Amino acid sequence: MPRRKEVSSVVVGGQRSQAITDEVAVIDVGRCFSGDSGALEAVAQQIHKACTEIGFFYIVNHGSSEPVVQRAFKAMENFFALPASEKSKVRMNEHQAGWQASNVAIHGDSFDKVVKPQATEAFKFGAELEPTDPDFRGSKRFRGHNQWPEALLAEDKQALLAYHAHFNDIAKRLLAPVAVALGAAADFFDDAFRRTDSVMRCAYYPVVQPEENQFGLPGHTDLSFLTLIPPATAPGLQILTAAGTWIDQPLVEDGILVNTGDTLRTWSNDQFIATPHRVLASTRENRYSAIFFLYPDLDATISCVPTCSNADHPKQYMDRMFSDFYAGYAARNFGYAEKKE
């Protein structure tokens, strides 16, 4: 049974959930991904329940390749084992690409009282662009500005990029059931995600003896449309329920944990929630995680899904390009990387 810590009641993702639950649903997406009759609607119904009550769910029978995951985790360990002098050459830039050193990050949107920087290291990257692409090292922020240490083996770089592409494919297959869950056509989000600007965040949580109000990663909501979280190498993730209770992430064999982020919450006019979650500081064993954040095209417009507003619940947000939404989130939470290159 998950360990629980009581905290004060909260409003999650801009609105209070319609129901209170600490159950994380396990959704079998196999038949849906295969296109079986009726499976899309069945999965959509389960996603609607999960995303209006707790904002997290597991998917199973998703087709993930275990060798792709294993190679990426080994590559990630190799990256973090590099000397700091090598990693510092690819310090995270204003495009949110590169290495985040330990003890530099304080999450501005945190739901926890944070007075100490995170001991965690991180490495972020997006899809790799060919040097001939007009956005490669161009003026568009958040695209085409990956940084790779020269000391990182070529096979490790390719393993990480393969992981990004693999999870991008899985995540995009959830667009149709999410759209149907919101009462829209199955292809509603397709144009916005035809070219994604999704991001991988590899993280290393070293063993520490945390001081008061110091976390591996403090309570926060994600910027993403959807976040995909394969199993980390050690426990630590906690979820804040609508009742104001922190629960430990349950373990589901072969499951990928999925949560809704602020982009989907905004697109759905707060119909779907974005749930705070955090990672406790690791006190017994080093922890590695590789999180995939599904982002739309930077040029996509976040505009209320027509089925998500009516006279009783009017449109809450102005239309915004995702690039502007992304920039605001980065400014609030990643100030250490906001200086232009």
Domain assignments of the chain as residue spans, ordered by start: 4-334
Cβ pair 44, 307 in contact under 8 A: no
Please report the pLDDT score of residue 3 as a whole number. Answer: 28
Q: DSSP per residue over 185-244, as a string?
A: -TTTTTGGGSS---EEEEEEE----PPTT--SEEEE--SSSEEEE---SS--EEEE-TTS
Summarize the confidence of residues 238-253 as an average pLDDT: 92
pLDDT value, residue 107: 57
Can you read off the two tokens belonging to residue 331?
A: 């400014």
**Average pLDDT of 248-277?**
96
Name 323's Cβ contacts closer than 8 Å, sequence gap at least 6: 140, 141, 142, 298, 299
Q: How confident is the model at residue 49 (pLDDT cuts 50, 70, 90)?
A: very high
State pLDDT tens for residues 107-156. Answer: 555 555 655 667 789 999 999 999 999 999 999 999 999 999 999 999 99
Residue range 4-334, CATH number: 2.60.120.330
* Residue 166, φ and ψ in degrees, nearest 5: -65, -45
Q: Which of 14-23, 51-60, 115-124 has the lowest mean pLDDT?
A: 14-23
More confident residue, 166 or 2: 166
pLDDT score, position 189: 98
Least confident of 63-72, 112-121, 231-240: 112-121
pTM of the model: 0.91
* Residues above pLDDT 70, as percent of the chain: 88
Residue 30: exposure state from Cβ atoms within 10 A (0-12, 13-18, ≥19)? middle
The pLDDT, as a whole number, for residue 18 is: 40
- 304-322 pLDDT, tens digit each: 999 999 999 999 999 999 9
pLDDT at 66 over 90: yes
Q: How many Å apart are CA 153 and CA 333, to the nearest integer? A: 31
Res 61 pLDDT > 90: yes
When the pLDDT of each residue in the chain is averaged and rounded to a whole number, the result is: 89
3-state secondary structure of 172: helix
CB 323 within 8 A of CB 331: no
pLDDT above 60 for 99: yes
Q: What is the pLDDT of residue 19?
A: 46
